[in-house]
Amino acid sequence: MQYKLNLNKVSTTLDLLKRNEKGVIADFDMHKVPLKLLEMGCLPGNAVELLEVAPLGDPIYLCINDTHLSIRKELAREIQVELVG
């Protein structure tokens, strides 16, 4: 799914999304993100939605590019997203 980017887009990082907030992955430092996450579909331009946050605040549960996965906030912090209106 391709989302049209809003002109007044809001940039943030993945760990700061709220439940059910959607965004598009913008960019990240390739050295800080494991290859595995990319291979699972976490690539610039792909849609992302935050589904749940674990009861103790970490990890988070995401849907990226149709794949449901869970990562820790320390990793999510490295990934820039643009919120979708």
Judged by the rule CB under 8 A, the positions of this chain that interact with other proteins are 1, 30-31, 34-41, 43, 51-52, 54-59, 61, 65-72, 75
User: What CA–CA distance (Å, rounded) separates 80 from 10?
Assistant: 11
Q: How far is the CB of 8 from other proteins (least distance, A)?
A: 25
Which residue, 10 or 38, has its beta carbon nearer to other proteins? 38
Measured distance between the N- and C-terminal CA atoms of the chain, rounded to whole angstroms: 15
- Which residue type occupies 47? A
Which residue, 37 or 83, has its beta carbon nearer to other proteins? 37
